[in-house]
Amino acid sequence: MLDAIKVTEHLHWAEKDRAKKCVLSVMEKTVSPSQVYVDHWSSSSLKIPFSSSLVFPQKEEDKEGKRLKHSRYRQFKRAQRIVSTSAHRDVRPLLLIRSGNQGYGDISQSQLLHYSWPANNITILGSHVDLSPRPGNQPNRASQPRVRLPQLAKSSSDGENSMKKLCILTAIKPSNVESEKAKFFKSDFRYNPQFEYSNPASPQVLEKYSKASDCFLTQAVRIMELALYKYGSYEKFEQATGGSLLTKGRIRAHTKKYMEKEGCVGEIVVHLTDDLLSRASMTVVNGRPTLTINVSTAREQWLEGLLRHEIGTHYFRSINNSQQPWSSGDGRKKLGLKPVNPTEEGLASIHSVLFRRDPRLWRAALLYYTVHQAAHMSFAQLFHDLARFVHDPDTRWDYCVRAKRGQTDTSQPGCFNKDQVYLDGILKILRHREKIDFQLLTALGKVSYEDVERLRSLAVMENVRIPHFLQDLERYAEQLQKIMAVNQLTDEELQVLV
């Protein structure tokens, strides 16, 4: 009941009320210390956010030690000693707060400090709350309470409401993919799927994402042809640069190790699935930041890049954004901020290939090319066209579904153009790489690289989080130059295009 509760702050009582003071909260369920923390207090109210269960729990021996240390008997005996001796010395009783599974709540000071525990005749008659932490007893970085978690579904959106973005991606996901795939393969790849949707997107939404660009088509094709020239096929490129597919156990182990490196263990739920069109996604599920990883594409040499993409970029920029003046839609409009994309996905895509031995921009190039072709072809035509770059029918099917999602009759030309944002953002960032302050770009949150300098003086820089791979900017710049060279991109070319 009272075991394993984290001690937070001291209460300072008025001199006349020190006779019998103790704040206790009876808990129905045992929680770990990491599940309880105080966000911030004011003189009038306490706002107490609670985290739910951790992804990677503590070791059993650690839990047992805390149970012995904070047993109900020892807590009660200590409370008796406080009551009996408080009249003779300056007592600083402890605040024990509620368990982490109770969600957010506002408790007024009068409510908190005017309770009694009839069974033991302990009364609370408190005064004010002292916010100063105990000197010399600061928790280390790994155990510090984090800032209030943002709506991470915004991480791969264009800065609009996260629920709206989630609804769009849900609305354009066909509900009969497997049955249509069976028909398509049975027809020797000639049938054009007729997709159905449980809650279809409106025509206005589909129209917004229906226009494909050809601005970087030449660069996309060249990037893929260079890879084919070196490796012979996409499948050989994937095996040579990505390595073997990982088991679920190894994916979890690698993910935990990465989170330890970034100091965010316990903040993110990790979900593994094979039912995902993308390789991974960062969203909010049941109030928790959730990283979903597609196990069918998780390769040994690529997983670190995937984690830099989703956690080091999307998650950290969302965390940092939540404390900025432009964290709300109204704040963005007031400051006239540009859309976060293509910067958001471009930056994350660069981080996907950062530090790879051969940082080909293959995936971003293929997505860009596929969308462009889908706008002018039927599903079956697109599938056969992609054989130029991808031999495996299952892989081609996935790319075609991504480009054609939202359509019902795929015999007609048409596309969902969001996937062009990756290469678009990459090339724009590389074009201006020598002028961009990448640490500040991350610290400011969900902003375009074009807005960084004018927001510098308005930024709240306390508690911002910068991923480990951005600490050494000299090495980071070298990696950007390597990406340019491997993909045969030149500054002269990009200056003309961007």
- Give the tens place of pLDDT for each residue, 4-13: 333 333 333 3
In terms of C-beta density within 10 A (0-12 exposed, 13-18 middle, 19 or more buried), how is residue 217 classed? middle
Active site residue 235: no
User: Residue 178: is its pLDDT beyond 80?
Assistant: yes
Pairing, β 269-273 against β 288-294: parallel
Report, as an integer, the average pLDDT of 465-482.
97
482 pLDDT band (50/70/90 cuts)? very high
3-state SS class at 290: strand
Nearest Cα residue to 465 out of 156, 51, 141? 141
DSSP sequence for 322-383? TTSTTSSHHHHHHHTPPPSTTHHHHHHHHHHHTT-SS---HHHHHHHHHHHHHTTS-HHHHH
136 pLDDT band (50/70/90 cuts)? very low
Annotated active-site residue in 304, 310, 344, 345 = 310
Omega within 30 of 0 (cis) for the link into 133 = no
Q: Is 182 part of a structural domain of the chain?
A: no
165 pLDDT band (50/70/90 cuts)? low
3-state SS class at 66: helix
Lowest-confidence region among 73-77, 192-196, 211-215: 73-77
Q: Is 483 part of a structural domain of the chain?
A: yes
Q: What is the mean pLDDT of the chain?
A: 77
In terms of C-beta density within 10 A (0-12 exposed, 13-18 middle, 19 or more buried), how is residue 385 classed? middle
Number of Cβ within a 10 Å radius of residue 166? 16
- Give me the sheet containing 105-108, strands edge to edge: 40-41, 45-48, 105-108
Q: What are phi and psi of 283, to 5 degrees?
A: -135, -175
User: Residue 318: is its pLDDT beyond 60?
Assistant: yes
Q: Is 174 part of a structural domain of the chain?
A: no
Distance CA 404, CA 482 (A): 33
Report, as an integer, the average pLDDT of 451-456.
96
Which amino acid appears at position 231 of this protein?
Y
Q: Is 136 part of a structural domain of the chain?
A: no
Report, as an integer, the average pLDDT of 415-425.
97
Q: Is 153 part of a structural domain of the chain?
A: no
303 pLDDT band (50/70/90 cuts)? very high
The model's pTM? 0.69
- Give the tens place of pLDDT for each residue, 209-220: 999 999 999 999
Helical pair 362-374 and 217-231, crossing angle rounded to 10 deg: 130
Residues 6 or more apart in contact with residue 376 via CB below 8 angstroms: 413
pLDDT computed for residue 166 by the predictor:
52
3 pLDDT band (50/70/90 cuts)? very low
Domain that holds residue 377: 211-497
171 pLDDT band (50/70/90 cuts)? confident
Q: Is 63 part of a structural domain of the chain?
A: no
In terms of C-beta density within 10 A (0-12 exposed, 13-18 middle, 19 or more buried), how is residue 51 classed? buried
Distance CA 264, CA 48 (A): 20
Q: Is 394 part of a structural domain of the chain?
A: yes
Q: Is 175 part of a structural domain of the chain?
A: no
Q: How many domains does the chain have?
A: 1
pLDDT computed for residue 276 by the predictor:
85
